[in-house]
Structure formats: structure tokens, C-alpha cells
Amino acid sequence: MLLCAAAGTSLSAVQAQTLSIEQARAIIAPFYQALNAGNDAPALVNQVTAADWMSCGGNEVCRSRDQVGASIASLEKTVPDLKWEIKDVLVSGDRVIVRGEATGTPTETFMGVPPAGRKFRIMSIDVHTIRDGKLARSYHVEDWMGATRQLSSP
């Protein structure tokens, strides 16, 4: 388990906020269920996130939970067998770091690549801040360029 103290915060205050791995997994599990095809993404995202939750990707572009739920639902139409799996979970105070893996086979044009029956497998890294048992903010990076390379190769 990772522990770090923010400037001006005592180590004991940070330790008091630290989640166990089991608590962290229970909190984040519905979010990763939402990422898997065949689930009600908007409802699951709303269940696990605070009303003011934002999901931030590259260049600090952040989206609300309504935008994220709709985006996941749209992605699942293009990749109907999308599966997102939690590979590792680390906890640092109120932060949960997840190494995930996504796989899927697009049935429609995906990031400019026409469907050809090829499957992709990519890694993702997510850093979630937990507040009152819900995701309060998430930062994420996915290897979508790796997915397009896999889908484009003969």
C-alpha cells in the first residue's frame, strides 16, 4: 500500500483517509462494469460517481458524468464485445490507481480504421480520487494509438 502526505498534512491524517485494497475495488468495480459492453453505462457511471465528478484525459480535457456515460454507450455500439479488466489496484490515501486492459473487436469504423474483424488489446492507467465512497475526479490515459496500429496491421 502506498502512502504519501500532501504538503501541510500530517501522515496520520493521510493514513486515516487510506482505503484498503478491498474497499477501493468495491468502490471502483461498477465504473469498470460500465466500461464493459452490455451494461447500462450511464446508470453505472451515475451510481459510482459524485454529482460533480469529472473525468480528465490528455491536455486536461475533462468531461462530466453525463458526457462520459453517453461516450461509453457510443463506444459500445462500435465495439460490441468491449471488455475492460482491472489488472492492478494501488491505493494512496484517497487515491486509487488502476492499471487496466481493454480488448474488443470493432464492427464499425473505429478511430478512422474500417472494421476488418481484428481485435485490439490496450493498457490504461486511471487515477481516481475517492470522496464519501464515490469517485470525485478521475484522470486517465489509454493507448488508443496502439489500438489503431493493431487494427490497421495485416
Q: Looking at this protein, which amino acid is placed at residue 138?
A: S
Neighbours of 142 (CB within 10 A): 17
Model confidence at 17, in pLDDT bands (50, 70, 90)? low
**Position 43 confidence tier, pLDDT thresholds 50, 70, 90:** very high
Q: Which of 42, 74, 65 is nearest to 135 (CA)?
A: 65
CB distance 108 to 130 below 8 Å: no
Map out the domains of the chain as residue ranges.
16-152
pLDDT of residue 12: 34
What pLDDT was estimated at residue 154?
76
Alpha carbon distance 77, 108 (integer Å) = 8
Structure confidence at residue 1 as a pLDDT band (50, 70, 90) = very low
Question: What CATH number belongs to 16-152?
Answer: 3.10.450.50
Looking at every residue in the chain, the average pLDDT score rounds to 89
Residue 3 has pLDDT above 80, yes or no: no
pLDDT recorded at residue 39: 82
Phi, then psi, of 80 in degrees rounded to 5: -65, -15
CA distances from residue 67 to 28, 47, 64 in whole angstroms, order as listed: 18, 15, 5
Residue % of the chain over a pLDDT of 90: 82
pLDDT 10s digits, 84-104: 999 999 999 999 999 999 999
Task: Provide mean pLDDT across the span 17-40.
Answer: 92
Q: Is the pLDDT score of 14 beyond 90?
A: no
Q: What is the mean pLDDT of the segment spanning 126-151?
A: 97
